[in-house]
Structure 1
């Protein structure tokens, strides 16, 4: 069963919307054939010749397939995977015009006897072609020209074959109303698909910007710490070289000063890195709630009493667990709900659980270094980390630190 449903669950939100949209347009092919292509076949009952009805049926089938191919390629263009299918769109418009004109000629010459068959076929050809052509346009203003042009061309074609003006008006109004509906439906589908993909790309860009901003902050901190000290080291080293060349004893004093500044710089860099690696648990929990809620997820955080009372080492380790889990929820799967619970167990142990739905049934690739790094941080506190699927597309990450280790840290503090 997971293999049967994985093709849907493993897709992103944008991928699901695209799959649903493509399926809807594929159904249009069957809808055109069954709803409009069967009209000439049904009218052939009692006739001696089936050449014209069968030919018209295959005409509708070929037109439906042509519109289906245009829909598929146009959707690829909408999401930015290929160029606009201009030639195929022109071919579809020309084939539609030729088919509709042929139906009208057969009606005037008496080869189509039933009065409802010709309007039905013309409507099927123009309506579905109008919807397919709209998918190849970006401007809404240009989309509105498609049904108007289809109605005008149909009315003129009816007049050209010798039908009365009342017939031409009826054909034009019918084509206009049906084409407006199909154009609005197809145009909205293209707009929705484009919007969903833009939101998906915006979320990726936002995550990258957050990482870049953090790197810039860390780079500024290192520059502030090391810039002045390295400049002093360079000057004093140059002075020591000059003094040594002159065999002055002050060169030793300058090198001792360089050694002191280097050791101080090393200590300051360690302090910066230590501050960068430490994470406040309360801040991380509230930050996870805000980020996941902003991403459209229902995030619930159960932040119990033990949080503020935990030693700083434990808060830092669990804070990194929250940070890494939040990143994984945003990056992998398609979660709608997420639960983050911090609880104190019997014996003084502390457990942090992060659980979300929408997890892919199959791993996207080899495990990264994120979970391995968390296990190393927790191992320093005798803690454990468990991560994996728990059924129904839910992924659970569970970190636990034993009570005896917490007591040792509290006594040391």
Structure 2
């Protein structure tokens, strides 16, 4: 039971939609099969020794099973071009079983064992609808689907006319059969189309998440290039000049190498500034960026509480890292649909940042990533803590707590006075 629950939680939204759609189509076939049995079973009750009604029961079950197999293979092929084509024997067997069912119900009506004769057109339309729905995904053109739906409907009308049904009854059976087969074929094809659209949306969502990460890397690389590009070119030129001067024994070579050293030290300082700026991104900008990235990935994200502008810069920097890592985990792990970011800046009390999302992969233990371990080390330097734990039913909550640094204005304001000043006593 536990393994089944884990597998259910690990499935993405697209997989759940596909599973629900397949089960719905299969359930439709089962309903049609049960409707067919409504015509056959009363004949069994009227004459137990008659073989014909008993034969219709396994034929109906076989038709439903073959319809499920053919539809499943055809839908898999339609959703993935690389999937194998449906096996020909279930397709042929379904057609043969359907023909036997039509002939069997016709013979049942001819022997007088059919109790509700007026339901025969509807029952036969159910038989043809199962066939049409299964074959609807095997072809691409709509005209071919229309032909597939029309042929068994006409066959049913001819069968009913041969059984002595009047013209009015034949026309009604044609209309009922045409509506039933056409609606079943359209439902099955639309179901496959919905699943394909959901798959495309899931792929686009994953691509957007990867694109957001790639854009951040490109931005960082562009900043490094802007800082180091010119300085490295100057270092190369001055180094080459120093080599030429040294070969000639000129004292200016030392000056050029000193200049190279100075430029290298400046470049080192500029790189540190770039990295420091990347690492100390403002909390407010990180919150805004997290909302943008999550919403672009299809996650309904919102922020509750303060905006963090009143926090000291060192606390903002630490919590900004939590937001960045938490957003990455939401996009990378699980299949989140909602994400709520809460911030309570204080004082009194410490600053508390929470990130709660659903759609978590239950097979991955909470707090097992190296990113969370790095966050714990970063927060520990500020006497802060980081808690990562699952929450019911399939959610995950990340909580970062950072106390206000001692000596800040808010810390002094929230600290109770321990040495009250006594009023001066004058005599």
> Per the shorter chain, which TM-score range?
0.7 to 0.9
2: CA distance between counterparts of 1:138 and 1:398?
52
1: CA distance between counterparts of 2:253 and 2:410?
47
2:127 maps to which residue? 125
1:247 maps to which residue? 249
2:108 paired with 1:103: no
Offset of residue 266 of structure 1 = 1.6
2:271 paired with 1:261: no
2:199 paired with 1:197: yes
Name the stretch that deviates more: 7-16 or 275-284.
7-16
2:350 paired with 1:313: no
Q: Residue 367 of structure 1: SS of its match in structure 2?
A: coil
Normalised by the size of structure 1, how large is the TM-score? 0.85
Normalised by the size of structure 2, how large is the TM-score? 0.83
1:265–1:4 CA distance, 2 compared to 1 (3 A): same
Do the aligned partners of 1:280 and 1:316 also contact (CA within 8 Å) in 2?
yes
2: CA distance between counterparts of 1:283 and 1:2?
41
User: What CA deviation, in whole Å up to 9, does each residue of 1:376-407 have, x standing for no partner?
Assistant: 32233232111111333331111111224573
1:336–1:234 CA distance, 2 compared to 1 (3 A): closer
1:20 maps to which residue? 20
2: CA distance between counterparts of 1:176 and 1:140?
15
Do the aligned partners of 1:75 and 1:190 also contact (CA within 8 Å) in 2?
yes
1:409–1:104 CA distance, 2 compared to 1 (3 A): closer
Q: Residue 44 of structure 2: SS of its match in structure 1?
A: coil
2: CA distance between counterparts of 1:370 and 1:144?
57
Offset of residue 281 of structure 1 = 0.9
2: CA distance between counterparts of 1:322 and 1:144?
55
Do the aligned partners of 1:74 and 1:85 also contact (CA within 8 Å) in 2?
yes
Offset of residue 361 of structure 1 = 3.5
Do the aligned partners of 2:149 and 2:181 also contact (CA within 8 Å) in 1?
yes
2:83 paired with 1:82: yes
2:368 maps to which residue? 367
Name the stretch that deviates more: 269-278 or 72-81.
72-81
The number of aligned residues is 408
Do the aligned partners of 1:293 and 1:299 also contact (CA within 8 Å) in 2?
yes
Q: Residue 45 of structure 1: SS of its match in structure 2?
A: helix
1: CA distance between counterparts of 2:144 and 2:366?
44
**Aligned counterpart in structure 2 of residue 227 of structure 1, from 229, 232, 240:** 229
1:278 maps to which residue? 280
2: CA distance between counterparts of 1:336 and 1:2?
23
Do the aligned partners of 1:32 and 1:128 also contact (CA within 8 Å) in 2?
yes
Offset of residue 104 of structure 1 = 6.8
1:171-182 alignment, distance < 5 Å = 171-182=173-184
Compute the RMSD of aligned alpha carbons. 3.3
1:154-193 alignment, distance < 5 Å = 154-155=156-157, 166=167, 168-193=170-195
2: CA distance between counterparts of 1:290 and 1:219?
21
Offset of residue 86 of structure 1 = 6.8
For structure 1, the 5+ residue unaligned runs are none
**Aligned counterpart in structure 2 of residue 217 of structure 1, from 212, 216, 219:** 219
1:135 maps to which residue? 137
Offset of residue 276 of structure 1 = 2.0
For structure 2, the 5+ residue unaligned runs are 413-427
1:352 maps to which residue? 353
Offset of residue 176 of structure 1 = 0.7
Name the stretch that deviates more: 292-301 or 128-137.
292-301
Name the stretch that deviates more: 390-399 or 6-15.
6-15
Q: Residue 309 of structure 2: SS of its match in structure 1?
A: helix
1:46 maps to which residue? 46
